[in-house]
Amino acid sequence: MSNTSSDTTGDESLITTEVETGSTQRTPARTAVAARDLNVYYGDEQAIDDVTIEIPEKRVTALIGPSGCGKSTFLRCINRMNDMIEVCRVEGDVEFGGKNVYDDDVDPVALRRKIGMVFQKPNPFPKSIRDNVAYGLKIQGYDGDVDERVEESLKAAALYEEVKDQLDSSGLDLSGGQQQRLCIARAIAPDPEVVLMDEPTSALDPVAASKIEDLIDDLAEQYTVIIVTHNMQQAARISDRTAVFLTGGRLVEYDDTPKIFEDPEEQRVEDYITGKFG
């Protein structure tokens, strides 16, 4: 299927991944988030079917698959955003920091501080740029220098230079691509460990999307990034690991990204990636 792959062994694709993502000499990754025997239902309808997966720390992991296969549902299990959906029922474990996030003593608000989220449609609050980024800090009673942290977060989100003279103007006055970077700054300001992104560039033009892609690459130096995307090229470009979900909420293949895109084990995965279905 691919003219970029030569006949190499599976071992070499790992090395390729490391090189392609631009990071040198990275240590082997520990697991940041793991799902074990995860099943999710909306009423009687099953959206995730017995998923077990270990997601590495400080890497970019892409979740791909056709519409309705459960990618967003899976993402929302990780920081318990599904708690907000009344008909949603979760069985199985999602481990983070050595603990099941569904244990009774886990505070979902505290969890979401550690596991931030960015959505498809940029959703800044109708507040100033500064207050958008400071929002999570204020909730957590941050005792450091808020302005300094706002600046750091805007820099990390590659937005600071564009907005540094207008921190008091509304976040809603920014362009779509700037708004999305503002949302990323807001997500990383409380210094989370994991950033979940659900199709973060699908509402953006290619230039803005490419800025976010560059940013994601940088973020993975410090954070674990888990990103849902419908854009195969994007998944291939920016992720280290790719998980392919197919209809019925099943995880059908999960491997190093080059392996998935050049030589997947499953015919169904190859068909999906090459556009034969989905």
Ligand X SMILES: Nc1ncnc2c1ncn2[C@@H]1O[C@H](COP(=O)(O)OP(=O)(O)OP(=O)(O)O)[C@@H](O)[C@H]1O
Q: Which of 58, 59, 71, 80 binds ligand X (CB under 6 A)?
A: 71
Q: Which amino acid is residue 97, in one-letter code?
A: G
Which listed range, 3-11, 20-28, 65-73, 91-99, lies at the site for ligand X (CB under 6 A)?
A: 65-73
**C-alpha angle 145-200-220 in degrees, rounded to nearest 5:** 60
Q: For 7, which DSSP code? A: S
At its nearest, how many Å lie between Mg ion and the CB of residue 264?
A: 22
Residue 73, contacted partner among Mg ion, ligand X, none, CB below 5-8 A by kind: ligand X
At its nearest, how many Å lie between Mg ion and the CB of residue 240?
A: 21
Q: Are 146 and 140 in contact (CB under 8 A)?
A: no
At its nearest, how many Å lie between Mg ion and the CB of residue 5?
A: 29
User: Among residue numbers 74 through 133, which ones bind ligand X (CB under 6 A)?
Assistant: 85, 87
At its nearest, how many Å lie between ligand X and the CB of residue 72?
A: 3
Does 72 bind ligand X (CB under 6 A)? Our answer is yes
61: helix, strand or coil: strand
Which listed range, 60-68, 96-104, 123-131, 142-150, lies at the site for ligand X (CB under 6 A)?
A: 60-68
User: Among residue numbers 29 through 58, which ones bind ligand X (CB under 6 A)?
Assistant: 42, 47
Q: For 178, which DSSP code? A: H
> In terms of Cα–Cα distance, which of 206, 157, 166, 203 is closest to 184?
157
At its nearest, how many Å lie between ligand X and the CB of residue 152?
A: 32
Handedness of CA 197, 198, 201, 203 (dihedral sign): negative
Q: Are 79 and 112 in contact (CB under 8 A)?
A: yes
Which listed range, 64-72, 124-132, 134-142, 235-243, lies at the site for ligand X (CB under 6 A)?
A: 64-72
213: helix, strand or coil: helix
Rounded to an integer, what is the distance from CA 267 to the centroid of its chain?
26
Q: For 266, which DSSP code? A: -
Q: How many residues does this entry show for the chain?
A: 278
List residues near Mg ion by CB under 5 A. Answer: 72
Closest CB to ligand X among residues 73, 224: 73
Residue 85, contacted partner among ligand X, Mg ion, none, CB below 5-8 A by kind: ligand X
Interface ranges with ligand X (CB under 6 A) = 42, 47, 65, 67-73, 85, 87
